Structure 1
């Protein structure tokens, strides 16, 4: 049997807040230590197909342990079908030793993505919060640089990444102007805000999701109330609420844009529960689309806004 080709998974980088050290922001034309995430769809299909072959002995000797390893690689990338398959294996002791805690973890991840069979099977299992080793994102290296020395003349601002520049040209001018005016008040790069808006609402001021997320930055009522937004369909109020939330998330996750964008999509609770980007296809695709546009994986943050996450603080390694 010819196995599907495997490719390397791009790692996400995250900043580490260090006294007296400024966080690096990717600049076009300069190499970065950690590439942006790639579209993982083909990789997921490859892992799942190979796992199914080993689980059922289709063209290869049956090997439950190897199947579980491959399913978990796909599960970590947000594949609900692989999460369900692995949960079922652990719940029934099929090819692996029965483990209700592991079964519960994988089935819950699949159920949270809307897989009804996983939800039904989950009902008879205990709840678990421990993240299995195979689901943990490998620690990435943060790029840090010393603070810049005073210069006689301020250097020219770096050019925007191509996708960010194209986004500014294609977005409605009124919204671009509004973002440009408001973003500095929240210490945000305007093209980050524009990237979030495009993925959330595609610049529709009256957009409303099935989960009742509203307006340009798709604020759910709880988030709107949290950041004092009275009318989520008013563009200025909506942007102020969404930007306030982004500023808070940047402080909470210490400038790690992968975690920040994942939390904007799935909630900071889900990011902490999974100790990183939740294994949801929607969330992983969301993070990829935003980071590809902004061209960096870190963003300056104001540490005075809130204390960092106690769960994820310090999990990354700093390197010069």
Structure 2
């Protein structure tokens, strides 16, 4: 339909519509547009890759997949090729020391040392280690996230010396600025990813 023909059709219809109904129709259209646009915008702002691997590993090790997503977002923005100056590798920035801890405490073969760059293996290792830290710190996810960044021994010393109470609200008291920002970012993204992708997980 040409624009001129469309206008000839729509103009009389709009003029015939009572003003109150026109306003109501406009409001409904705006709400519908927002209903469609906001989820699309949110998924653009909080992208997600390797969804199946994250969901499977999180389910296997009984932790929130949204926390795993948040860690990956902060660590590498879902870039599996990232390697740090400390030789932390892959999506979840697994260090050689972390691999040793995982192999020592979990049923992983030493062969995984050569597979850290594989996104699926990296997610499995990182998710297991994150679950291990959560258990180590009695279910406190914020403390586990801090330990993922700074190491469990350092975090234990902060808690023992009462330099930090282990809450997100008081994360500004964390001694290391890098870890302080890390905890705040991860826990912030945790909530965002849960809000945007909550429908991925069955109740």
Instruction: Verify same fold: TM over 0.5.
Output: yes
Task: Confirm whether residue 171 of structure 1 aligns to residue 67 of structure 2.
Answer: no
RMSD over equivalenced CA pairs, Å:
2.2
Task: Confirm whether residue 188 of structure 1 aligns to residue 63 of structure 2.
Answer: yes
Q: Could you say if the C-alpha distance between residues 167 and 250 of structure 1 is closer, same or farther in structure 2, counting changes exceeding 3 Å?
A: farther
- Give the match for residue 181 of structure 2: 285
Within-5 A mapping of 1:82-231: 166=43, 170-172=47-49, 175-228=50-103, 229-230=112-113, 231=115
Task: Measure the CA separation in 2 of the matches of 1:243 and 1:220.
Answer: 14
Residue by residue, what CA displacement relative to the aligned partner does 1:204-263 show, whole Å, maximum 9, x if unpaired? Answer: 112100111111110110111221332210111111111111111111111112211100
- Give the match for residue 236 of structure 1: 120
1:274 Cα deviation after fit: 1.7
- Structure 1 portions without partners, runs of 5+: 1-161, 297-320
Residue by residue, what CA displacement relative to the aligned partner does 1:154-209 show, whole Å, maximum 9, x if unpaired? Answer: xxxxxxxx9xx74896122xx11211122100101111100000111111112100
Q: Could you say if the C-alpha distance between residues 168 and 181 of structure 1 is closer, same or farther in structure 2, counting changes exceeding 3 Å?
A: farther
SS of aligned partner of 2:92 = coil
Within-5 A mapping of 1:29-68: none
Structure number with higher helix proportion: 2
The equivalent position to 2:135 in structure 1, one of 233, 251, 256, is: 251
Q: How many residues align?
A: 131
Task: Measure the CA separation in 1 of the matches of 2:57 and 2:77.
Answer: 19
- Give the match for residue 151 of structure 2: 267
Question: Is the 1:167–1:195 contact (alpha carbons within 8 Å) kept by the matching residues of 2?
Answer: no
- Structure 2 portions without partners, runs of 5+: 1-38, 104-111, 167-173, 193-203
Q: Could you say if the C-alpha distance between residues 168 and 253 of structure 1 is closer, same or farther in structure 2, counting changes exceeding 3 Å?
A: farther
Question: Is the 2:69–2:190 contact (alpha carbons within 8 Å) kept by the matching residues of 1?
Answer: no
Question: Is the 1:263–1:270 contact (alpha carbons within 8 Å) kept by the matching residues of 2?
Answer: yes
Q: Could you say if the C-alpha distance between residues 281 and 166 of structure 1 is closer, same or farther in structure 2, counting changes exceeding 3 Å?
A: farther
Larger radius of gyration: 2
